[in-house]
A and B are shown apart, each in its own frame.
Chain A
């Protein structure tokens, strides 16, 4: 009698398996705990070396801890809009967060909290690792515990040109004179102190007389570059270095493409980076600003923009390290 049992059982189990074959339990999908629990070592690094950015009670993004004495980097354009920013690092909440500098080229802000004995990230020796390599970033956090989400390096490191071309961030009045009507928020023109009624006379030392001249002077310029803008204010003539920004992002004219529509939330500033690495971690924009770790827990870079549903950009480790050291030096 027992001899027949195995066959029967196998058939039942097989049947059960066939039915279950319709759908994989969510625990074992890419973002499920069954899979993410394999990244315990990397999660431990996120626990101590990533910073949760809070705006009141809301989680507003992440940062990268870069020094034992309380310096961290975050995404500047996202941080600047916060009303009541605070940081949580490991299990400690820091209510007082000072802004110690900003790098507009990379859209990075340097933050400082009153801390000692923090564990800064350990930079990976090279960010240009093979496609298909695992990467680990911050997943949704609890008040005390960071979580890990994993993906892979999914494209070549490269420059992300300014979307829609380079722009100063000015709107001109109608008429023959290149007279400014308005200056866009978050633009290089605003940072350089240009304002309404200023009259543009030269760009990069070359006189400009028409809108076409300005367009020609800005053509083929790259993200992060600055140009010398000469302008007349009243009787004075001044010259300022103006950072170029993406026309599409500055004026919100970027067409809402079909791809954007199916992506959910994307980063507002997502172009004009001198070099990025790209990964495929499946999440909304919440992990932006946090570190990208390799399997050894080393920092490959910092998440800087979710471009769309399938593509996320990160500042590579080499550049991140340079930015961190330069900004801390300037702040101390």
Chain B
């Protein structure tokens, strides 16, 4: 008798378990405080089973792709290129910290159609690879919605966009499909393959909402890492205020006075005469020659070399300098970045 009772309660538990497993997606959504609207049914299946399921994924991607693509931009700065995504009509861009590489840097943004625009980097989180930038022109710009509530779940189908290897107009940004395969606090992993140039690019859910930003890859093809939206949401105000957050490794904090020009000067009649340019220095690479007269340094005229030294002490490696020089009676402007001392 006691045995039979045990069996009965086991079967009851089984029945309840079955019920619970049906209710589970809903329960989890409730536990998270919301039910995601328009969540594609395919995400609550372990795997697609037939062509109907496969077509559901394909159709979802194709419906939202044009809008996602229009907001995805190539970012060029210095010698490198990455990707970013516009998230507001007035031109706010989310990207990776190792792409923006600093605060207040001037960057070039290339739209899908090849149009080039000016932008400037805002704040970044250097230890998780999140960063913001803003287009200089007011817009309105094409943009995508962000999944601020982080409603995405493990195994959800996702797609990535990015200017793999740099901007190629004939190709466009490259779309890749995958699933969310790992979720840790500040890093998500998908099996959408990424390559250099994709960094800073967007990861979308099947409804076209932005859920992550591409950061880095592992050795295996299935190991592709993204910064989740929470990193942006949690540091939103500070990033908007152009703060440099964290201690790296994805961006180096500027150190005042570590900028390096690579030339020696002496006072001349109407400025500073360059008496030596070091080999392989930023000045040499930018084309500064011995004998050039520096008329202005970042717009300021200096009569003594100590004045220029004091100005340099307020700057950091990676900062831009503009030299108005005179060479053989002709004036020209040379612009380049300071090296690291």
Contacts and interface: CB of A to CB of B under 8 A. Distances in A.
Given A29-B179, A29-B222, A30-B191, 10 more contacts: A9-B17, A17-B28, A23-B182, A24-B179, A29-B191, A30-B178, A30-B179, A30-B222, A134-B54, A295-B55
Main secondary structure of the interface of B (DSSP, over half): mixed
Contacts of B181: 23-24, 29
Interface of A: 2, 5-6, 9-10, 13-14, 17, 20-24, 28-31, 34-35, 37-39, 41, 130-134, 151-152, 154-156, 158-159, 257-259, 262-264, 278, 280, 282-284, 295, 308-311
Interface string B142-175: 0000000000011100010000110000111011
Interface string B180-204: 1111100000011111111000000
A22 B184 contact: yes
Contacts of B255: none
A32 to B, nearest CB: 8
Contacts of B183: 21-22
Contacts of B155: 24, 28
A10 B19 CA distance: 10
Contacts of A14: 24, 27-28, 31
Determine the main DSSP class of A at the interface with B: mixed
A28 B155 CA distance: 8
B59 to A, nearest CB: 9
A257 B19 CA distance: 54
Contacts of B28: 14, 17
A37 B180 CA distance: 19
- Give the interface centre of A14, A17, A24, A134 by most chain B CB atoms within 10 Å: A24
A309 B197 CA distance: 12
Interface residues of B, number: 57
B174 A282 contact: no
A30 B54 CA distance: 12
A154 B194 contact: no
Contact of A34 (B27, B47, B174): B47
Interface of B: 12-13, 16-17, 19-21, 23-24, 27-28, 31, 46-51, 53-55, 57-58, 61-62, 65, 153-155, 159, 164-165, 170-172, 174-184, 191-198, 217, 221-222
Contacts of A155: 171-172, 174-175
A309 B194 contact: yes
17 contacts: A9-B17, A20-B154, A22-B184, A28-B47, A38-B54, A133-B62, A154-B174, A156-B170, A156-B171, A158-B170, A259-B195, A280-B175, A282-B193, A282-B222, A295-B54, A309-B195, A310-B194
Contact of A5 (B16, B24, B177): B16
A38 B48 contact: yes
Nearest to B191: A30
Nearest to A34: B47
A154 B175 contact: yes
